[in-house]
Amino acid sequence: MPLAAITASHTPLMHTVAPRGDTRAAVDAAFAQARAFAADFRPDLVVVVAPDHYNGMFYDLMPPFCVGTAAEAVGDYGTGAGPLAVDRDAARHVVRELLAAEIDLAMSERMVVDHGFAQPLELLFGAIEAVPTVPVFINSVALPFGPLRRTRLLGEALGHALLALDRRVLLLGSGGLSHDPPLPALEGAPPEVAARLVAGRNPTPEERAARENRVRDAGLAVVAGDPGPRLNPDWDQAFLDLLAQGRLAATDTWTNDWITAEAGNSAHEVRTWLACYAALSSAGPYAVRSRFYRPIPEWIAGFGITTAETRRIP
């Protein structure tokens, strides 16, 4: 069976901060195109590859990769809360195959996910439980990170595992592109913040509201005239070109420090896109069917959406 992929930026500000001009209409149109692509592909399994933002994964045990055989969304930033429709058999198959392929990853029987997983499922399928899923977590926020090459190899192994299922599988990558929102870091954090990042405790409703207000205020400040965190449209477009041209191995030489310097602390979320395209490449040559990009300072994001599928043989 062929594979297909949709990759999309996510932002906690989508529902609370209105960007200037026709930006929102352009983003909505791009998501409508992606929804049509998904409907035409008719997947019977959606593999969601996404990061976490200290809502489900903490420094008490921070895996570089993790597959959930069950998952529940916390409902942050206005996204849906509750269980995802995880296909346990497919998830366990993925775990077995990736481990057999010498990819070191964790497995979770009670994965907790946030807007990184929930938002694309809602935007493309209407609800977090609308389609059978396999959630794949890639750490893209909590330092230290492994080499980017490991993410590419994970994606290739994931693709081979999915092909063995002989099902119509849509890979859904969530995150990126260049952006640097106000997220806590363990190094140099006040003791109470460091304790929460380590302890594996989900924030209280009051703490969650305070965190969400900080992010919203950063977006509103841009609307009011503050230039906001730096975006890098040139870097974003170069990355999109690399994916479209199938030059995935070129990222093997990228260092984590370079990514941060060029595109921001949270630009490491492009690992989710790289993994999806690497998985897609396992089925053979692919073609990008649509590509959308805009730098959106009000959302503190270089915002992109792509669709791609295995190249059809005439």
Catalytic residues: 115, 179
**Residues 81, 85, 89, 95: is their CA dihedral positive or negative?**
negative
Q: Which DSSP state fits 300?
A: T
**Residue 294: in which H helix or E strand, if any?**
strand 286-296
Given the DSSP bridges, would you call strands 111-113 and 169-174 parallel, antiparallel or unpaired? unpaired
173, two tokens: 């990558």
Closest CA to 125 of 1, 30, 34, 7: 34
Q: For residue 104, which of 54, 57, 66 has the smallest C-alpha distance?
A: 66
Tell me which residue of 272, 48, 275, 38 sits closest to 160, measured CA to CA: 275
User: What are φ and ψ of residue 125, in 5° steps?
Assistant: -125, -5
Residue 275 near residue 138 (C-beta atoms within 8 A)? yes
Q: Is 6 exposed, middle or buried (0-12, 13-18, 19+ CB in 10 A)?
A: buried
CA-based radius of gyration for the chain: 18
